[in-house]
Amino acid sequence: MSGAADMMARDAASALLGMVVERAEPGDALVTMTVRPDMLNGFAITHGGFVFALADTAFAIACNEDDRVTVAAGADIAFLRSTTAGQTLTAHAVRRARSGRTGLYDVRVSDESGAIIAEVRGRSVTTNRTPPD
Protein backbone atom coordinates (compact mmCIF):
# COMPACT_ATOMS: atom_id res chain seq x y z
CA MET A 1 0.00 0.00 0.00
CA SER A 2 2.64 2.46 -1.05
CA GLY A 3 0.15 5.19 -1.97
CA ALA A 4 -1.15 5.57 1.60
CA ALA A 5 2.28 5.09 3.19
CA ASP A 6 3.80 7.78 0.97
CA MET A 7 0.83 10.06 1.59
CA MET A 8 1.15 9.68 5.38
CA ALA A 9 4.90 10.34 5.24
CA ARG A 10 4.00 13.81 3.86
CA ASP A 11 0.93 14.40 6.10
CA ALA A 12 2.06 17.19 8.44
CA ALA A 13 -1.47 17.82 9.76
CA SER A 14 -2.01 14.27 11.03
CA ALA A 15 1.48 14.22 12.52
CA LEU A 16 0.86 17.54 14.28
CA LEU A 17 -2.28 16.09 15.85
CA GLY A 18 -0.36 13.04 17.09
CA MET A 19 -2.20 10.49 14.97
CA VAL A 20 -0.74 6.99 14.85
CA VAL A 21 -1.49 4.59 12.00
CA GLU A 22 -2.16 1.21 13.59
CA ARG A 23 -3.26 -0.58 10.42
CA ALA A 24 -3.12 0.36 6.74
CA GLU A 25 -4.48 -2.22 4.33
CA PRO A 26 -6.34 -1.81 1.04
CA GLY A 27 -9.84 -0.65 1.98
CA ASP A 28 -9.19 -0.87 5.74
CA ALA A 29 -7.39 1.50 8.09
CA LEU A 30 -7.11 2.01 11.84
CA VAL A 31 -5.76 5.31 13.25
CA THR A 32 -5.54 6.46 16.88
CA MET A 33 -5.16 9.87 18.49
CA THR A 34 -4.99 10.98 22.13
CA VAL A 35 -7.12 14.05 22.85
CA ARG A 36 -5.00 16.91 24.20
CA PRO A 37 -6.24 19.90 26.23
CA ASP A 38 -5.67 22.17 23.22
CA MET A 39 -8.19 20.05 21.25
CA LEU A 40 -11.11 20.97 23.53
CA ASN A 41 -13.86 23.44 22.73
CA GLY A 42 -15.45 25.98 25.07
CA PHE A 43 -17.43 23.25 26.83
CA ALA A 44 -14.27 21.25 27.68
CA ILE A 45 -15.17 18.50 25.20
CA THR A 46 -13.28 17.40 22.12
CA HIS A 47 -13.88 19.84 19.26
CA GLY A 48 -15.81 18.07 16.50
CA GLY A 49 -13.27 19.20 13.93
CA PHE A 50 -10.60 17.04 15.58
CA VAL A 51 -12.92 14.03 15.66
CA PHE A 52 -13.59 14.55 11.96
CA ALA A 53 -9.87 15.05 11.21
CA LEU A 54 -9.12 11.65 12.75
CA ALA A 55 -11.90 9.99 10.75
CA ASP A 56 -10.78 11.78 7.58
CA THR A 57 -7.22 10.49 7.97
CA ALA A 58 -8.39 6.89 8.36
CA PHE A 59 -10.70 7.39 5.34
CA ALA A 60 -7.79 8.74 3.27
CA ILE A 61 -5.59 5.78 4.13
CA ALA A 62 -8.32 3.25 3.33
CA CYS A 63 -9.12 4.75 -0.07
CA ASN A 64 -5.54 5.31 -1.27
CA GLU A 65 -4.90 1.69 -2.15
CA ASP A 66 -2.38 2.26 -4.92
CA ASP A 67 -0.32 5.04 -6.51
CA ARG A 68 -3.38 6.87 -7.90
CA VAL A 69 -4.31 9.98 -5.89
CA THR A 70 -7.73 9.46 -4.32
CA VAL A 71 -9.42 12.28 -2.40
CA ALA A 72 -12.69 12.90 -0.57
CA ALA A 73 -15.63 13.89 -2.75
CA GLY A 74 -17.75 14.39 0.35
CA ALA A 75 -18.46 13.09 3.83
CA ASP A 76 -21.18 13.20 6.46
CA ILE A 77 -20.59 12.84 10.18
CA ALA A 78 -22.90 11.98 13.05
CA PHE A 79 -21.56 12.88 16.50
CA LEU A 80 -22.89 10.40 19.06
CA ARG A 81 -20.92 10.97 22.29
CA SER A 82 -18.47 13.50 23.61
CA THR A 83 -14.93 12.93 24.87
CA THR A 84 -12.37 15.03 26.68
CA ALA A 85 -8.62 15.45 27.21
CA GLY A 86 -6.66 12.31 27.95
CA GLN A 87 -8.96 9.97 26.07
CA THR A 88 -7.72 7.95 23.11
CA LEU A 89 -9.88 7.90 20.01
CA THR A 90 -9.69 5.22 17.33
CA ALA A 91 -10.98 5.63 13.79
CA HIS A 92 -11.64 2.46 11.79
CA ALA A 93 -12.31 3.04 8.08
CA VAL A 94 -13.70 0.28 5.86
CA ARG A 95 -14.42 0.28 2.13
CA ARG A 96 -18.06 -0.52 1.37
CA ALA A 97 -17.93 -0.20 -2.42
CA ARG A 98 -15.52 0.88 -5.14
CA SER A 99 -16.53 1.23 -8.77
CA GLY A 100 -14.55 3.00 -11.45
CA ARG A 101 -13.20 6.22 -9.97
CA THR A 102 -15.59 6.41 -6.99
CA GLY A 103 -15.73 4.72 -3.64
CA LEU A 104 -17.87 4.57 -0.52
CA TYR A 105 -16.35 4.19 2.96
CA ASP A 106 -17.65 3.98 6.52
CA VAL A 107 -15.58 5.23 9.44
CA ARG A 108 -16.40 4.48 13.07
CA VAL A 109 -14.71 6.57 15.75
CA SER A 110 -14.65 5.02 19.21
CA ASP A 111 -13.05 5.79 22.56
CA GLU A 112 -10.76 3.58 24.65
CA SER A 113 -13.76 1.76 26.17
CA GLY A 114 -15.15 0.92 22.73
CA ALA A 115 -18.03 3.40 22.97
CA ILE A 116 -18.95 4.84 19.56
CA ILE A 117 -18.14 8.55 19.40
CA ALA A 118 -18.99 9.27 15.77
CA GLU A 119 -19.90 7.63 12.47
CA VAL A 120 -18.74 8.98 9.11
CA ARG A 121 -19.83 8.03 5.60
CA GLY A 122 -17.21 9.15 3.08
CA ARG A 123 -17.28 9.28 -0.69
CA SER A 124 -14.03 9.18 -2.64
CA VAL A 125 -12.95 10.01 -6.16
CA THR A 126 -9.76 8.89 -7.84
CA THR A 127 -8.09 11.75 -9.69
CA ASN A 128 -5.56 12.11 -12.48
CA ARG A 129 -3.21 13.97 -10.13
CA THR A 130 0.27 12.72 -9.44
CA PRO A 131 1.54 12.58 -5.86
CA PRO A 132 3.95 15.35 -4.84
CA ASP A 133 7.64 14.50 -4.73
Instruction: Identify the band that residue 130 occupies on the pLDDT scale cut at 50, 70 and 90.
Output: confident
Report the Cα 120 to chain-centroid distance in Å: 9
Per-residue pLDDT tens for 76-91?
999 999 999 999 999 9
Report the Cα 86 to chain-centroid distance in Å: 19
Cβ count within 10 A of residue 132: 8
Residue 100 and residue 126: Cα distance in Å, rounded? 8
SS3 132: coil
The single-letter DSSP state of residue 28 is: E
For 40-48, what is the mean pLDDT?
Answer: 98
Cβ count within 10 A of residue 106: 16
Model-wide pTM > 0.85: yes
Per-residue pLDDT tens for 2-31?
578 888 889 999 999 999 999 999 999 999
- Candidate from 13-22, 59-68, 90-99, 115-124 with smallest mean pLDDT: 59-68
Taking 70 as the threshold, does the pLDDT of residue 1 lie above it?
A: no
The edge-to-edge listing of strands for the beta sheet with 70-79 is: 20-25, 28-34, 88-99, 102-110, 116-126, 70-79
> What residue type is 44 in one-letter code?
A
Give me the torsion for CA of 74, 104, 116, 43, rounded to 10°. Answer: 0
Cβ count within 10 A of residue 103: 23
The superfamily (CATH) of domain 2-126 is: Hotdog Thioesterase (3.10.129.10)
In this prediction, residue 132 carries a pLDDT of: 81
